Structure 1
Amino acid sequence: MLRSMATLLAARGRQGRQGRHGQWDTDRGEVQLTLPPSLPATLGCDAVGVPARHGFRLMSRLPGNGCVFADSEWWWWIVPAGSDTELRWPLPACYATDACVPDRRPRLIHRPDSTSPYTPPIPLYLMVCQLTGVAPAWTGPGLESRL
């Protein structure tokens, strides 16, 4: 687990895939999370990942979960494209543009009952902040720093 976190954090400073919050790549390559055909991503598709140790807690506390993928080290929630706009996702969360994540063979572990593949990003963001002990913060016109 520590090696994986160190790899992700170190990779943010290296040249590689360009995301909205910096650059990262992995030694194992990347894979784009594939949604079930019956759940179209009409708003585009990004993913928010957290270390697996937080996965069950987040899933049980969120008011609604869209598609959730997991591997042995990370859980990934599908969110609409641009869900990082004006938000600072706290570490150790990882925002993956286009739902391209490290290739550790993630698999779909939760499929929503609705016709939308998305987890609402604001409740997810607030829960990630709560789990990590970080106060919610965002930027934007007229907003300097924190809530």
Structure 2
Amino acid sequence: MIPAQLRTGLGCDVVGTSREHGERILDCLPRVGCVFADDSTDGERWWWVVPAGSHIGVSWPPSVTYTGARRADPSWTRVRRRPRSAKPRLIHSPAGDSPYTPPIPLYFLACRLAGSVPRWSLAGG
């Protein structure tokens, strides 16, 4: 699903946000990687590609879905009762050769939009 010309040497996880939060995040971040959209059961979700392990040591807010590579297609593989598009749509492609959105700025913006206090630990895991 990630365009072939982009390097994915750091592995790929995804962070899912609502469309509303996604639009605000896209406007605020100075650099954005690949962003996909799908029609989930709770409305359209935007999926931000981040390096694998971007969940280590942080607590993503409850409104965010963090999915590791063990489940490559987060919401679009679930069984649904209503029709959906065949696969997620790439809605933003990066200008450079990296598919990644920097996870730390994404994390702080997601927390701010969710009204959550950012929490992290030095003891990752």
**What's the CA shift for 1:51?**
1.3
Structure 1 counterpart of 2:49, which letter? Answer: I
Structure 2 residue 81 is the aligned partner of structure 1 residue 81: no
Higher RCO structure (Cα 8 Å, ≥6 apart): 2
Matched, 1:129 2:111: yes
2:31 is the counterpart of 1:61:
no
Residues 35 and 49, structure 2, Cα contact 8 Å, conserved in 1: yes
Q: How many Å separate the matches in 1 of 2:48 and 2:75? A: 14
Runs of 4+ in 1 over 2 A off after TM superposition: none
Alpha-carbon distance in 1 for matches of 2:50, 2:106: 9
Query: How big is the alpha-carbon RMSD for the aligned residues of Structure 1 and Structure 2?
Result: 1.4
Question: What is the 5 A alignment of 1:111-126?
Answer: 111-126=93-108
Task: Tell me which residue corresponds to 2:79.
Answer: none
Gap regions ≥5 residues in structure 1: 1-33
TM-score normalized by the length of structure 2? 0.82
Counterpart AA for 1:65: V
Q: Does 1:51 align with 2:18?
A: yes
Q: Distance in 2 between matches of 1:102 and 1:109?
A: 16
Unaligned runs of 5+ in 2: 77-83
User: Percent of counterpart pairs with the same letter?
Assistant: 50
Q: Is the 8 A contact 2:13 2:54 kept in 1?
A: yes
Aligned with 2:121 (options 139, 142, 145): 139
The answer on whether the counterparts of 1:41 and 1:116 sit within 8 Å (CA) in structure 2 is: yes
2:97 counterpart SS class: coil
Q: Which amino acid aligns with 2:26?
A: M
What is the deviation of 1:140? 2.7
Counterpart of 1:15 in structure 2 is none
User: Is the counterpart of residue 92 in structure 1 residue 92 in structure 2?
Assistant: no
How many positions carry a matched residue from both structures? Answer: 109
